Structure 1
Amino acid sequence: MDTSDIRDLAPGTAVHGKGKKRVRDILKVATEILAYEGYSKFTMRHIADRAGITLRNVQYYFKTKDILFQSVIEQRLKHDIESATKVIENHNLSAEDRFLAFVDNSLEENTTPFIRGLQFELWAQANHDAFAAKCRDHMTTVYSKFIYELIKPLTLGQSEKTRREKAVILLSMLQGFPLVEGSDIHIEFAIGNLRKLFRTEALIFVTSGAEP
């Protein structure tokens, strides 16, 4: 799948040897802080302390906190798209099985504490921060385009409009799943294997010829 919509991770930073490793180390620490400690702890100084380097060093590679925040989101986005692409690249599978493999992979990743923490922090921050909202919107657009391309073989008899709408709705379903699975609603409604039901209904939704 095409990842050309994903921006470079750390524009203007060193790209060779030690510089690359330092950027990776900073991004790793920053991502963990955002996921496990929340945006309130996502400060340049705290990230520097956790990485065992000076604040000046962090600022050399990432001039502002916004640039670092954007780079964390871009890195995660690129990882997710590449991970999903590997899952569906087996062309010995049918289009339907590749779609279900993508759904399974998404549900597995989205419900880990690490990914769930990242998503919750991004969406919460986007509610009252214009820059975070811009990052969220970019991420949503890239994911939607990926899903749009994925479901093409399953929606050949459907209009482009319907396919685009289904891509966005399916993304909404996948992102909302951790909230539901983490609650007791499926127990109250006597739903057994929620993931199995989700993948079945997702396939029916995508392949149905009806307008969403």
Structure 2
Amino acid sequence: MTNPPETRTPRIGAWLSSTREGAGRYQAGRDRVAQILDTALEIILEGGYHALSLREVARRCGVRMGAVTYYYKGRADLLQDVLNMVLVPYADRFNEIEHVPGATAEQKLEQIIRLLLEDIQTRRTTGLFPHLWALANHDPFVAQAVDSIYILERLRLVPLIGELNPGLAPRERETLALFVAASIAGSTMFVGAGKPWAGELPLYAAIACRALIDVVKTITPEQLQAYGWRPVAEPPEWTPPTVLPDAAYRALVDGALGHAPAAAARDGVHESAPAPLATVSS
């Protein structure tokens, strides 16, 4: 499987039209928003989120400040769209994997693991996500954005885990999905772009696929209890721990599962598009 695209796809153009007020009516508006987002992402990759400012975006785009503030009132607002833009190709790739004719749940899980491992070797992922992880420790907006990204990822993993290991309870499946996602994300500092072990990805990926798929398929509630897990009664509406407010979490999940509000469907938002990331005041 090839790496997810690092450049904008036609689907992102459609997403831009439905994201920013004023961007959807004219091609010039869509082009301007795309330029702003590309520039903002490049600034983050070079210097981190602290280097991002609307003034710097305007300077690099060669436009007046008002051409940026027309669409974005602050950098948190801008970061939200940058992250949503980054997510669009992954939503498409996950959907492709989900609908591969004749593929088993194990094969789909392997493809997702390989997709995510290959992605961490892109400059974008290796450069962007460590910045976000660090900022999430003290910036509530970034913390919610990062949590949203991994919630969306787990939404693809949990059904496969349930199919491969139906004996696990919902909390156990969700936590196992968290373990798979965290194991892959934590590999960034070792096999990411420009990292010392980057050239060993084929062997590393083989080990990761073998280990992660094996634990998903074979782990049992009894084994978890033998290592200290004490099951508790789950409330009927149990949800995974999150920093998102309840309403934001539910909106994110419903959007990702295609339960978008009627207005979104009316406006032509593609059902595979990621739900907008949660926002807080910056």
User: Which range, TM-score by smaller chain?
Assistant: 0.7 to 0.9
Cα separation, partners in 2 of 1:88 and 1:110, compared to 1, 3 Å: farther
- Are positions 1:94 and 2:133 aligned together? no
- Are positions 1:203 and 2:213 aligned together? yes
Deviation at 1:209, TM superposition (A): 3.1
Of the three residues 85, 106, 130, the one matched with 1:75 is 85
Cα separation, partners in 2 of 1:185 and 1:147, compared to 1, 3 Å: same
Contact 1:170 1:202 in 2 (8 A): yes
User: Structure 2 CA distance, aligned partners of 1:51 and 1:18?
Assistant: 14
Cα separation, partners in 2 of 1:149 and 1:25, compared to 1, 3 Å: farther
Cα separation, partners in 2 of 1:61 and 1:118, compared to 1, 3 Å: same
Deviation at 1:92, TM superposition (A): 2.2
Alignment length, in residue pairs?
201
Contact 2:41 2:82 in 1 (8 A): yes
Q: Percent identity over the alignment? A: 24
1:135-155 alpha-carbon deviations (Å, 9 max, x no partner): 112222222222213333212
1:53-111 alpha-carbon deviations (Å, 9 max, x no partner): 22111110111111001111122123222223223421222221111111111100022
Name the residue aligned to 1:121: 131
2:157 partner amino acid: I
Name the residue aligned to 1:12: 21
More displaced stretch, 157-166 vs 195-204: 157-166
Task: Mark the runs of 5 or more structure 1 residues left unpaired by the alignment.
Answer: 1-5, 187-191
- TM-score between both structures, scaled by the size of structure 1: 0.84
User: Structure 1 CA distance, aligned partners of 2:213 and 2:116?
Assistant: 14
Name the residue aligned to 1:109: 119
Deviation at 1:11, TM superposition (A): 4.5
Task: Mark the runs of 5 or more structure 2 residues left unpaired by the alignment.
Answer: 1-14, 225-282
Contact 1:10 1:61 in 2 (8 A): no
Name the residue aligned to 2:141: 131
Q: How does 1:1-212 map to 2 (within 5 A)?
A: 10-16=19-25, 17-181=27-191, 193-211=203-221
1:155 partner amino acid: N
